[in-house]
Amino acid sequence: MEYIPFLLLGGLISVMSGFFGVGGGFILTPILLLIGFSPLEAITTSLFFTVGTSMSGIAAHIRMKNILWKEGLIMGLSGIVATQLARPIVYALEARGWDDIGIPFLYIVLLAYFAIKMIRQGKKKDGENPAPAHFSVPKLLAVGFVGGFVSASLGVGGGFIIVPLIITSLGFNPKKAVGTSLFAVLLIVSVGFISYAVNTQIDYFIGLMLIAGALVGAQFGARMTAYFENKEMNAMLGILYIVTLAGAVLKLVDLNKTGLVLMGIFIVYFFVRAIGKIRTKAMEKG
């Protein structure tokens, strides 16, 4: 019974993973830190979980033709190189006892930046910035590298970095950004997880329970993108960043329960809004 909450948690997180294209680890890692996992355990478990959620989400986005394969491959390969550069830095932080402060602090800085970027993007009207026909390869390499470095540093898929960057810097359509990001993320986290798993002991049954919940959730989350306008998705992603940022700050001041409550409130808000959208669409068709 003690593992059932992880099954439910995996399902809830993976719905948002499939919807936002953030791989799941971005939301899971701070939650694991809040409930008492060590930074290295949280990173490795989240990477394991993200492999499962990314594969499930990709299956749904393939059917909706939301993946730009060449662009995703370029970002993914660049990200793989970055994971191997970031991993020694994480181990060095742990050896000096700085991981409990350094990792949440990096979260806070990144989340604050991207929360502002995505909320501003959410204020733009759909079609205001049409996507270019061809994307800059150097920019794709740079985005993939940053995503991979952050992935291995924080135990996330890198999607929470890649999605806003390719929307704001490269002009990706948000739905294409979500699908393409998940493909790049799968390449990045697979290598990142193997690199950490060699030296870090985790409870694999917890990881499998999280993934089991994700198998259904990510499919549902990907389909939900059809019910939202692009600007709404951008704005909601910005709010998610703010909530996760608050959770990281509360972790640093030992207010873990408050951080968990805040995350719970956003999850409820997300699902209530999604259900409302689905009902509205159903009534319009009826």
- Residue 7 tokens read as 């099954």
Count the Cβ atoms, other than its own, within 10 Å of residue 269: 14
For 109, the 3-state DSSP assignment is helix
Mark residue 230 as left, alpha or beta (left: phi above 0; alpha: psi -120 to 50; beta: remaining): alpha
Residues 6+ apart with CB under 8 A from 252: 101, 104, 105, 108
Determine the Cα–Cα distance for residues 98 and 90; give it in Å rounded to an integer.
Answer: 9
pTM for the predicted model, two decimal places: 0.68
The pLDDT of residue 23 is 59
Asked if residue 1 lies in contact with residue 205, where contact means CB atoms within 8 angstroms, the answer is no
Asked if residue 31 lies in contact with residue 42, where contact means CB atoms within 8 angstroms, the answer is no
Separation in Å, CA 70 to CA 30, 132, 146, 160, 187: 31, 15, 18, 20, 13
What are φ and ψ of residue 169, in 5° steps? -100, -30
Tens-binned pLDDT, residue by residue, of the chain (286 aa): 678 889 988 888 878 876 876 657 777 887 888 888 888 888 889 888 888 777 777 877 888 888 999 999 999 999 999 988 887 887 787 777 766 677 667 767 777 776 776 666 555 555 554 555 567 899 999 999 988 888 777 766 677 778 878 887 888 887 888 889 889 988 988 888 888 888 888 888 998 999 888 777 766 777 787 888 877 887 787 788 788 778 778 877 778 788 888 888 988 888 888 888 888 888 877 6
The pLDDT of residue 77 is 94
Determine the Cα–Cα distance for residues 200 and 177; give it in Å rounded to an integer.
Answer: 32
Determine the Cα–Cα distance for residues 232 and 121; give it in Å rounded to an integer.
Answer: 10
Determine the Cα–Cα distance for residues 248 and 252; give it in Å rounded to an integer.
Answer: 7
Asked if residue 238 lies in contact with residue 119, where contact means CB atoms within 8 angstroms, the answer is yes
Determine the Cα–Cα distance for residues 13 and 165; give it in Å rounded to an integer.
Answer: 22
Determine the Cα–Cα distance for residues 14 and 213; give it in Å rounded to an integer.
Answer: 8
Question: With the CA atoms of 259, 261, 263 and 266 taken in that order, what torsion angle do they form, in degrees rounded to the nearest 10?
Answer: -140
